[in-house]
Structure 1
Amino acid sequence: MSSPVRIPAISVFLPSHNEEGNVERVVRSYLAELPRVADDFEIIVVDDGSRDRTGEIAERLAAEDSHVKVVRHHVNQGYGGAVISGIRAATKQYVLLCDGDGQFDPADLERLTPFVPEYDVVAGRRVRRADHLIRRINGKAWTTLVRVLLGITISDIDCGFKLFKREKLEGMDLRAHGAMISTELMARLAGRGAKVKEVDVKHLPRLTGEQSGANLKVVARAFKELMALYRELRDERRARGQGGRPGR
C-alpha cells in the first residue's frame, strides 16, 4: 500500500451532541490516523450542550493528549452553531469537518488529501448512505432543492466530512444555526470562488446515540434559513448588477 499524501497541518473538529458512546472512539481513531497524513494536527471536540457525559469524556481526553481540545456550549446551539464554533477554534492550515457520531472513517481522510492544494474544498460524497430510507430520500430532495435554488453543484451537500483550506473560511459570516449550515457554507464558498472536488467516502452505521436531522423543528428551521440565504445572495448579486442564480 502506498504512503498517504501528507499535508503540513490540520485541524479536525467534531460537532458532538449527546455522543458519550462515540466521542472517545472517534477521537482515538483520529489520534491514530492523523500522524499518517499531517506533520502537525489538533482535534477539537465541540460539545454542543450535551446532557450526557460527552463533555466530561472530551475533557479527560484533552487532559491526556495535548492534541485534543474541547469547545463547550453550555446551552445547545444546534448543528450550525457547533460547526461555526469548530471553524473559529481551528488554527491549522487545513480544516476537516467530521460529524462526531462515528459514521465516518478517519482513514478516509487519505482519500481527500491527494487533492490539496489544487482544490480549496475536498468534499466527501457518501457512496452508500447508512441511514434509513426516509432520511436518504429527504437528503436527496434537499440536495436537489439547493442545487436548483442556489446553483450549488456538489451532489451530497450535507455530507459531514469536508476538508477546507482555512484561508477560504477566514472572515466568513456564517449565520445558520441548524442543519442548513452545510448549504450556507458551500454557497458562501462558491461566492468566494472556491474550487471544489468531491470524493467518494464510506458512511458507517451509527453504533449508538440518536439522530436529530429528521426532527420537524430542525427541518422547518432549515427551510426558513434556506429562504433567508437565497434572498440575501440574490440581493447581493442584484446590487453587483449580475444575473443568474446565487452561488454561481
Structure 2
Amino acid sequence: MPLQELSLFFPCHNEADNLEALVDDALAALPALATTYEVILVDDGSRDNTAVVAERLVQRHAGVVRLVRHEVNRGYGGALRSGFAAARYSHLAYTDGDRQFRIADLARLVDGAQETGSPVVIGYRLKRADPPLRLIYATLYRVANRIWFGLSVRDVDCAAKLFHRDALRGISVHSDGAFFSAELLIRLRLAGVHILEVGVPHYPRTAGSPTGARLSVITRAVRDFWSLRIGLWVNRSRALARGRALLNK
C-alpha cells in the first residue's frame, strides 16, 4: 500500500548528465510509493549544467518537481540539510543524484516502514558497486562508527533512507559534510528512535564523477567525527545541543 505523502529529494553536484533520467525514474516509480508526492532537486553549487537541466525539469513538471539551489558548494550534508528543510510531507526520503540506486527500490523501505511501524528505515547495499578503494574506506568508516559511537548499522552512508517527519522533530545535526548521515543516525539512536535496516540493490555509476573519496571530503568528515565524539565525552548535553534543526516546522 502506498504512503499517504512522500517528499523525495536528491542532493546533486555536477549531475547534469544524470538528472533527466533520474527525474523520469522518480516520476515513474512514485505513484506506487505514495498517493501525494513531490520531488526536490538540491543543486549544491554545481559547475556544470545541473542548474539549467533542473530548471527545465521544474518547468516541465510544474507543481511536482522543485529546485533548491546553492550558489556555492556546501558539501553533501549541506545539500541533505536543504532537502530536509524544503520537504513538506509526512514522510521524507532521499537518494543520491548519481543514479546508483533505483527509485522503485525505495518500495522495499516503504514496505518495511508499513510492516513494522518503524519511523526510520535505512538501506544497506546488498552488493556495493564501487571501486576497491572506496570499499576499503567504507569498511574502516563503518567500524570506526561502531567502535566510537556504538552505531551498529550495516551501511552508514547508504543513500537510501526513509523517515517519518515525527522522528526528526527536535533532531539537530552539526556537520554539513560527509559525516552528516552518520551523525544523523547517531543522534536518532541517542534519542531512542528505532531504525530498521533493509537491503537494496546498488548499481555502477554511468555518468558524472564521484567526489566522496576526495582528500578534502575525507578530512572534513574526520574533523566532524572527532568533534562530536570529543564533545560527547566532555559535555554530552552541550554536544547534543550543537547543530541546526533539520525541519523548518
Q: Same fold (TM over 0.5)?
A: yes
- Residue of structure 2 in register with 1:49 after alignment: 45
Distance of 1:44 and 1:224 partners within structure 2: 29
For residue 234 of structure 1, report the CA deviation from its aligned partner.
3.2
Query: Could you tell me whether the CA contact under 8 Å between 2:151 and 2:186 is conserved in 1?
Result: yes
Note the alpha carbon deviations across 1:93-113, whole angstroms, 9 max, x for none.
Answer: 111011111100111111111
Query: Could you tell me whether the CA contact under 8 Å between 2:7 and 2:88 is conserved in 1?
Result: yes
Alignment of 1:1-248 (within 5 A): 5-65=1-61, 66-117=63-114, 118-237=117-236
Distance of 1:167 and 1:106 partners within structure 2: 23
Distance of 1:172 and 1:59 partners within structure 2: 31
* Paired residue type of 2:121: V
Q: State the superposition RMSD in angstroms.
A: 1.3
Distance of 1:236 and 1:28 partners within structure 2: 47
For residue 116 of structure 1, report the CA deviation from its aligned partner.
1.8
Distance of 1:36 and 1:86 partners within structure 2: 22
* Paired residue type of 2:218: V
TM-score (norm 2): 0.91
Q: Secondary structure at the match of 1:21?
A: helix
Gaps of 5+ in 2: 239-249
Gaps of 5+ in 1: 240-248
Distance of 1:13 and 1:97 partners within structure 2: 5
Distance of 1:205 and 1:104 partners within structure 2: 9
Q: Secondary structure at the match of 1:70?
A: strand
Query: Could you tell me whether the CA contact under 8 Å between 2:90 and 2:164 is conserved in 1?
Result: yes
* Paired residue type of 1:223: V
Q: Secondary structure at the match of 2:232?
A: helix
For residue 235 of structure 1, report the CA deviation from its aligned partner.
4.0
Identity %: 41
Note the alpha carbon deviations across 1:215-238, whole angstroms, 9 max, x for none.
Answer: 111111100000111123334548
Query: Could you tell me whether the CA contact under 8 Å between 2:112 and 2:198 is conserved in 1?
Result: no
- Between Structure 1 and Structure 2, how many residues are aligned? 235
Distance of 1:12 and 1:28 partners within structure 2: 13
For residue 6 of structure 1, report the CA deviation from its aligned partner.
1.2
Distance of 1:115 and 1:153 partners within structure 2: 19
* Paired residue type of 2:222: F
Q: Secondary structure at the match of 2:80?
A: helix
For residue 72 of structure 1, report the CA deviation from its aligned partner.
0.1
Distance of 1:171 and 1:73 partners within structure 2: 25
- Residue of structure 2 in register with 1:245 after alignment: none
Q: Secondary structure at the match of 2:26?
A: helix
